[in-house]
Protein backbone atom coordinates (compact mmCIF):
# COMPACT_ATOMS: atom_id res chain seq x y z
CA UNK A 1 0.00 0.00 0.00
CA UNK A 2 1.30 3.46 -0.87
CA UNK A 3 2.71 5.25 2.20
CA UNK A 4 0.70 8.42 1.50
CA UNK A 5 -2.49 6.42 1.40
CA UNK A 6 -1.53 4.69 4.65
CA UNK A 7 -0.98 8.06 6.27
CA UNK A 8 -4.35 9.31 5.07
CA UNK A 9 -6.14 6.26 6.44
CA UNK A 10 -4.34 6.55 9.77
CA UNK A 11 -5.20 10.22 10.01
CA UNK A 12 -8.83 9.51 9.24
CA UNK A 13 -9.01 6.77 11.86
CA UNK A 14 -7.45 9.08 14.44
CA UNK A 15 -9.97 11.81 13.62
CA UNK A 16 -12.90 9.40 14.04
CA UNK A 17 -11.52 8.08 17.30
CA UNK A 18 -11.11 11.55 18.77
CA UNK A 19 -14.58 12.87 17.83
CA UNK A 20 -16.30 11.51 20.98
CA UNK A 21 -13.60 13.00 23.20
CA UNK A 22 -13.81 16.38 21.48
CA UNK A 23 -17.63 16.32 21.60
CA UNK A 24 -17.60 15.38 25.27
CA UNK A 25 -15.29 18.24 26.26
CA UNK A 26 -17.92 21.02 26.13
CA UNK A 27 -20.23 18.80 28.20
CA UNK A 28 -17.56 18.33 30.85
CA UNK A 29 -16.75 22.04 30.84
CA UNK A 30 -20.43 22.92 31.24
CA UNK A 31 -20.75 20.66 34.27
CA UNK A 32 -17.47 21.86 35.82
CA UNK A 33 -18.65 25.46 35.77
CA UNK A 34 -22.20 24.72 36.85
CA UNK A 35 -23.93 26.48 38.50
CA UNK A 36 -22.47 29.82 37.51
CA UNK A 37 -25.33 31.98 38.81
CA UNK A 38 -28.47 31.66 40.96
CA UNK A 39 -30.86 28.86 40.02
CA UNK A 40 -34.61 29.12 39.59
CA UNK A 41 -37.07 26.40 40.62
CA UNK A 42 -40.43 27.11 39.02
CA UNK A 43 -43.39 25.75 40.99
CA UNK A 44 -46.61 25.83 38.91
CA UNK A 45 -48.71 25.93 42.09
CA UNK A 46 -49.48 28.41 44.84
CA UNK A 47 -47.18 28.52 47.90
CA UNK A 48 -47.52 26.12 50.86
CA UNK A 49 -48.57 23.00 48.92
CA UNK A 50 -46.45 19.83 48.78
CA UNK A 51 -44.75 20.81 45.49
CA UNK A 52 -43.79 24.18 46.94
CA UNK A 53 -42.60 22.67 50.22
CA UNK A 54 -40.40 20.12 48.48
CA UNK A 55 -38.96 22.75 46.13
CA UNK A 56 -38.00 24.92 49.09
CA UNK A 57 -36.60 21.99 51.07
CA UNK A 58 -34.34 20.91 48.20
CA UNK A 59 -33.56 24.51 47.23
CA UNK A 60 -32.12 25.31 50.66
CA UNK A 61 -29.86 22.25 50.51
CA UNK A 62 -28.69 23.03 46.96
CA UNK A 63 -27.85 26.58 48.04
CA UNK A 64 -25.80 25.23 50.93
CA UNK A 65 -23.99 22.73 48.70
CA UNK A 66 -23.17 25.00 45.76
CA UNK A 67 -23.14 28.50 47.21
CA UNK A 68 -25.63 29.71 44.61
CA UNK A 69 -29.08 30.87 45.68
CA UNK A 70 -32.02 28.74 44.56
CA UNK A 71 -35.02 30.99 43.99
CA UNK A 72 -38.43 29.30 44.22
CA UNK A 73 -40.69 30.97 41.67
CA UNK A 74 -44.41 30.20 42.18
CA UNK A 75 -46.29 30.50 38.87
CA UNK A 76 -49.73 28.94 39.38
CA UNK A 77 -52.52 28.95 36.85
CA UNK A 78 -54.18 27.08 33.99
CA UNK A 79 -53.63 23.69 35.60
CA UNK A 80 -49.81 24.15 35.77
CA UNK A 81 -49.61 25.28 32.11
CA UNK A 82 -48.42 28.83 32.91
CA UNK A 83 -45.45 27.69 34.97
CA UNK A 84 -44.61 24.85 32.62
CA UNK A 85 -44.57 27.09 29.56
CA UNK A 86 -42.26 29.50 31.36
CA UNK A 87 -39.89 26.63 32.10
CA UNK A 88 -39.79 25.20 28.57
CA UNK A 89 -39.09 28.68 27.14
CA UNK A 90 -36.16 29.22 29.52
CA UNK A 91 -32.50 28.78 28.50
CA UNK A 92 -31.58 25.09 28.48
CA UNK A 93 -28.50 25.41 30.67
CA UNK A 94 -29.73 23.79 33.89
CA UNK A 95 -30.22 27.02 35.83
CA UNK A 96 -34.02 26.79 35.44
CA UNK A 97 -35.90 23.77 36.76
CA UNK A 98 -39.58 22.90 37.06
CA UNK A 99 -41.47 20.97 39.69
CA UNK A 100 -43.65 18.41 37.90
CA UNK A 101 -46.45 16.17 39.13
CA UNK A 102 -49.41 14.18 37.90
CA UNK A 103 -50.93 17.38 36.52
CA UNK A 104 -48.00 17.68 34.12
CA UNK A 105 -48.50 14.09 32.97
CA UNK A 106 -52.25 14.37 32.30
CA UNK A 107 -52.40 17.84 30.73
CA UNK A 108 -51.74 16.55 27.20
CA UNK A 109 -55.06 14.67 27.49
CA UNK A 110 -57.08 17.05 29.66
CA UNK A 111 -56.09 20.30 27.90
CA UNK A 112 -57.42 20.90 24.39
CA UNK A 113 -54.29 22.77 23.35
CA UNK A 114 -50.96 23.20 25.09
CA UNK A 115 -48.38 25.85 24.13
CA UNK A 116 -45.67 23.18 24.33
CA UNK A 117 -45.18 19.46 23.76
CA UNK A 118 -44.81 17.77 27.15
CA UNK A 119 -43.02 14.70 25.77
CA UNK A 120 -40.62 16.67 23.57
CA UNK A 121 -40.00 19.94 25.42
CA UNK A 122 -39.46 18.62 28.97
CA UNK A 123 -36.87 16.19 30.30
CA UNK A 124 -37.82 14.49 33.61
CA UNK A 125 -34.75 14.80 35.83
CA UNK A 126 -35.48 13.18 39.20
CA UNK A 127 -38.42 11.94 41.23
CA UNK A 128 -38.08 13.44 44.69
CA UNK A 129 -40.95 11.75 46.51
CA UNK A 130 -44.09 9.65 46.28
CA UNK A 131 -47.14 10.10 48.47
CA UNK A 132 -50.24 7.91 48.65
CA UNK A 133 -53.69 9.35 49.14
CA UNK A 134 -56.19 8.11 51.71
CA UNK A 135 -59.78 7.33 50.81
CA UNK A 136 -62.09 8.75 53.46
CA UNK A 137 -65.86 8.71 53.89
CA UNK A 138 -68.16 10.80 56.03
CA UNK A 139 -69.23 8.86 59.17
CA UNK A 140 -72.81 8.98 57.90
CA UNK A 141 -71.88 6.75 54.96
CA UNK A 142 -72.60 3.10 55.75
CA UNK A 143 -69.24 1.81 54.53
CA UNK A 144 -66.42 0.65 56.78
CA UNK A 145 -64.27 -0.61 53.93
CA UNK A 146 -63.75 -0.30 50.18
CA UNK A 147 -65.86 -3.35 49.34
CA UNK A 148 -68.82 -1.88 51.24
CA UNK A 149 -68.44 1.49 49.50
CA UNK A 150 -68.40 -0.20 46.09
CA UNK A 151 -71.46 -2.23 47.05
CA UNK A 152 -73.31 0.98 47.93
CA UNK A 153 -72.26 2.59 44.66
CA UNK A 154 -73.35 -0.51 42.76
CA UNK A 155 -76.76 -0.52 44.44
CA UNK A 156 -77.31 3.19 43.83
CA UNK A 157 -75.52 4.20 40.61
CA UNK A 158 -74.48 7.83 40.67
CA UNK A 159 -75.74 8.51 44.18
CA UNK A 160 -72.34 8.24 45.83
CA UNK A 161 -70.87 11.73 45.45
CA UNK A 162 -67.15 12.20 45.73
CA UNK A 163 -65.17 15.42 46.05
CA UNK A 164 -61.78 16.26 44.58
CA UNK A 165 -59.33 19.13 44.57
CA UNK A 166 -60.12 19.77 40.91
CA UNK A 167 -60.62 18.06 37.57
CA UNK A 168 -57.52 16.11 36.60
CA UNK A 169 -56.01 16.24 40.09
CA UNK A 170 -54.61 13.12 41.72
CA UNK A 171 -57.60 13.02 44.05
CA UNK A 172 -59.98 13.12 41.09
CA UNK A 173 -58.22 10.52 38.96
CA UNK A 174 -57.79 8.15 41.92
CA UNK A 175 -61.57 8.10 42.34
CA UNK A 176 -62.08 7.57 38.60
CA UNK A 177 -59.70 4.62 38.74
CA UNK A 178 -61.58 3.24 41.75
CA UNK A 179 -64.90 3.49 39.90
CA UNK A 180 -63.38 1.96 36.77
CA UNK A 181 -61.76 -0.99 38.52
CA UNK A 182 -64.75 -1.45 40.85
CA UNK A 183 -67.24 -1.39 37.99
CA UNK A 184 -69.38 1.35 39.54
CA UNK A 185 -70.64 4.82 38.70
CA UNK A 186 -70.11 7.70 41.14
CA UNK A 187 -70.72 11.43 40.79
CA UNK A 188 -67.77 13.82 40.79
CA UNK A 189 -67.89 17.28 42.38
CA UNK A 190 -64.65 19.20 41.69
CA UNK A 191 -63.50 21.98 44.00
CA UNK A 192 -60.88 24.67 43.64
CA UNK A 193 -58.40 22.93 45.88
CA UNK A 194 -58.38 20.31 48.61
CA UNK A 195 -59.42 22.63 51.45
CA UNK A 196 -62.96 23.44 50.22
CA UNK A 197 -63.42 19.77 49.25
CA UNK A 198 -62.47 18.72 52.78
CA UNK A 199 -64.87 21.22 54.31
CA UNK A 200 -67.76 19.77 52.31
CA UNK A 201 -67.04 16.16 53.22
CA UNK A 202 -66.74 17.20 56.87
CA UNK A 203 -70.15 18.81 56.51
CA UNK A 204 -71.62 15.67 54.95
CA UNK A 205 -72.41 17.35 51.63
CA UNK A 206 -70.37 14.73 49.77
CA UNK A 207 -69.89 11.05 50.56
CA UNK A 208 -66.19 10.43 50.09
CA UNK A 209 -62.91 11.72 48.70
CA UNK A 210 -59.24 10.92 48.33
CA UNK A 211 -57.11 13.23 50.45
CA UNK A 212 -53.42 13.70 51.09
CA UNK A 213 -52.37 12.12 54.37
CA UNK A 214 -50.99 15.08 56.34
CA UNK A 215 -54.00 17.45 56.24
CA UNK A 216 -56.52 14.58 56.41
CA UNK A 217 -54.97 12.74 59.36
CA UNK A 218 -56.31 15.03 62.13
CA UNK A 219 -59.89 14.53 60.87
CA UNK A 220 -59.38 10.76 60.83
CA UNK A 221 -57.99 10.74 64.37
CA UNK A 222 -60.85 12.91 65.64
CA UNK A 223 -63.43 10.58 64.08
CA UNK A 224 -64.84 13.29 61.80
CA UNK A 225 -63.80 11.19 58.79
CA UNK A 226 -63.42 7.43 58.39
CA UNK A 227 -60.35 6.15 56.51
CA UNK A 228 -61.14 3.03 54.47
CA UNK A 229 -58.29 2.64 52.00
CA UNK A 230 -54.82 3.76 50.91
CA UNK A 231 -54.08 4.43 47.24
CA UNK A 232 -50.62 2.84 47.36
CA UNK A 233 -49.97 -0.82 46.61
CA UNK A 234 -49.06 -1.40 50.25
CA UNK A 235 -50.24 0.04 53.56
CA UNK A 236 -48.72 3.35 54.62
CA UNK A 237 -46.62 3.62 57.80
CA UNK A 238 -48.59 6.73 58.80
CA UNK A 239 -51.85 4.70 58.82
CA UNK A 240 -50.82 1.05 59.26
CA UNK A 241 -54.33 -0.12 60.17
CA UNK A 242 -55.88 1.23 56.98
CA UNK A 243 -55.83 -1.41 54.20
CA UNK A 244 -54.43 -0.67 50.78
CA UNK A 245 -57.21 -0.52 48.20
CA UNK A 246 -55.12 -3.04 46.26
CA UNK A 247 -56.07 -5.59 48.93
CA UNK A 248 -59.62 -5.36 47.55
CA UNK A 249 -58.86 -4.37 43.94
CA UNK A 250 -55.53 -6.01 43.04
CA UNK A 251 -53.22 -3.68 41.17
CA UNK A 252 -54.95 -0.46 42.26
CA UNK A 253 -52.39 2.33 42.64
CA UNK A 254 -52.86 6.09 42.45
CA UNK A 255 -50.00 7.91 44.14
CA UNK A 256 -48.90 11.51 43.93
CA UNK A 257 -45.37 12.09 42.70
CA UNK A 258 -43.21 15.18 43.07
CA UNK A 259 -40.42 15.47 40.55
CA UNK A 260 -38.13 17.92 38.82
CA UNK A 261 -37.75 18.49 35.08
CA UNK A 262 -35.62 20.73 32.89
CA UNK A 263 -36.21 22.12 29.40
CA UNK A 264 -34.92 19.91 26.60
CA UNK A 265 -31.36 20.67 25.55
CA UNK A 266 -29.66 20.86 28.95
CA UNK A 267 -26.22 19.20 28.63
CA UNK A 268 -26.24 15.62 29.88
CA UNK A 269 -23.33 16.26 32.24
CA UNK A 270 -25.24 19.14 33.86
CA UNK A 271 -28.33 16.95 34.28
CA UNK A 272 -26.18 14.26 35.86
CA UNK A 273 -24.73 16.79 38.29
CA UNK A 274 -28.18 18.09 39.24
CA UNK A 275 -29.57 14.58 39.61
CA UNK A 276 -26.68 13.37 41.76
CA UNK A 277 -26.86 16.31 44.16
CA UNK A 278 -30.64 16.19 44.53
CA UNK A 279 -30.52 12.41 45.02
CA UNK A 280 -27.97 12.93 47.80
CA UNK A 281 -30.19 15.56 49.42
CA UNK A 282 -33.43 13.58 49.22
CA UNK A 283 -31.73 10.38 50.47
CA UNK A 284 -30.24 11.99 53.58
CA UNK A 285 -31.69 10.53 56.81
CA UNK A 286 -33.04 13.88 58.04
CA UNK A 287 -34.80 14.57 54.73
CA UNK A 288 -36.27 11.07 54.62
CA UNK A 289 -37.61 11.45 58.15
CA UNK A 290 -39.06 14.87 57.40
CA UNK A 291 -40.89 13.44 54.39
CA UNK A 292 -42.05 10.39 56.34
CA UNK A 293 -43.68 12.64 58.92
CA UNK A 294 -45.59 14.26 56.06
CA UNK A 295 -46.78 10.90 54.75
CA UNK A 296 -44.40 10.77 51.80
CA UNK A 297 -41.55 8.48 50.76
CA UNK A 298 -38.24 9.81 49.42
CA UNK A 299 -37.26 8.45 45.99
CA UNK A 300 -34.15 10.03 44.43
CA UNK A 301 -33.98 7.86 41.30
CA UNK A 302 -31.85 8.28 38.17
CA UNK A 303 -32.82 10.47 35.25
CA UNK A 304 -33.48 7.39 33.09
CA UNK A 305 -35.63 5.76 35.78
CA UNK A 306 -37.74 8.86 36.30
CA UNK A 307 -38.18 9.38 32.56
CA UNK A 308 -39.52 5.84 32.23
CA UNK A 309 -41.80 6.33 35.26
CA UNK A 310 -43.14 9.62 33.86
CA UNK A 311 -43.91 8.06 30.47
CA UNK A 312 -45.80 5.23 32.19
CA UNK A 313 -47.80 7.76 34.22
CA UNK A 314 -48.74 9.63 31.05
CA UNK A 315 -49.89 6.41 29.39
CA UNK A 316 -51.74 5.02 32.43
CA UNK A 317 -53.76 8.14 33.18
CA UNK A 318 -54.52 8.88 29.53
CA UNK A 319 -56.20 5.47 29.47
CA UNK A 320 -58.15 6.17 32.69
CA UNK A 321 -59.27 9.57 31.41
CA UNK A 322 -60.41 8.12 28.11
CA UNK A 323 -62.34 5.26 29.76
CA UNK A 324 -63.97 7.73 32.18
CA UNK A 325 -65.08 9.86 29.24
CA UNK A 326 -63.49 13.01 30.65
CA UNK A 327 -63.37 15.86 28.15
CA UNK A 328 -60.50 18.26 27.59
CA UNK A 329 -61.02 21.64 29.18
> For residue 278, what is the domain's CATH number?
3.40.190.150
Single pTM value for the model: 0.85
Per-residue confidence (pLDDT) for residue 46, from 0 to 100: 87
Report if residue 35 sits inside a domain: no
Domain count of the fold of the chain:
2
Q: Are residues 199 and 263 in the same domain?
A: no
Residue 130's pLDDT is 95
Burial 260-289 (b: 16+ CB within 10 A, else e): bbbbeebbebbbebbbebbbebbeeeebbe
Domain boundary, last residue among 227, 247, 267: 247
65: containing domain: 40-129+258-324
Based on the domain organization, do 276 and 207 belong to the same domain?
Answer: no
Same domain, 263 and 125: yes
Q: What is the mean pLDDT of each run of 10 residues along the chain (329 residues)?
A: 52 50 57 93 90 95 97 93 97 97 94 94 97 96 97 95 90 95 95 89 96 91 97 92 97 96 97 98 94 90 97 95 82
Quick one: 160 and 217 in the same domain?
yes
At 328 the pLDDT is: 66
- Whether residues 149 and 165 fall in one domain: yes
Are 194 and 296 contained in the same domain?
no
Query: What pLDDT does 81 receive?
Result: 94
CATH number for position 202: 3.40.190.10
What are the CB-based long-range contacts (under 8 Å, 24+) for 139-142?
Answer: 139/223, 139/224, 139/225, 139/226, 140/204, 141/207, 141/208, 141/226
Does 160 map to a domain?
Answer: yes
CA 94 from centre of chain:
20
Give the residue from 218, 247, 276 where a domain finishes: 247
Answer with the one of 247, 275, 307 that is the final residue of a domain. Answer: 247
Amino acid sequence: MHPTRQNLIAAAMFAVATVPAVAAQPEADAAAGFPSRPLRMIVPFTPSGPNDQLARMVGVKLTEAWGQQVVVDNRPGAGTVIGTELAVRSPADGHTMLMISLSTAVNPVLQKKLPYDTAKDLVPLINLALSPNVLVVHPGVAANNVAALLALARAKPGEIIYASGGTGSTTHLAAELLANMGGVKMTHVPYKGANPATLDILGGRVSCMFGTILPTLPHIKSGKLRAIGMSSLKRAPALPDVPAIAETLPGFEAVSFYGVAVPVGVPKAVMNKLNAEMARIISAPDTREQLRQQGADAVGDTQAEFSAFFRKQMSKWARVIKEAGLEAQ
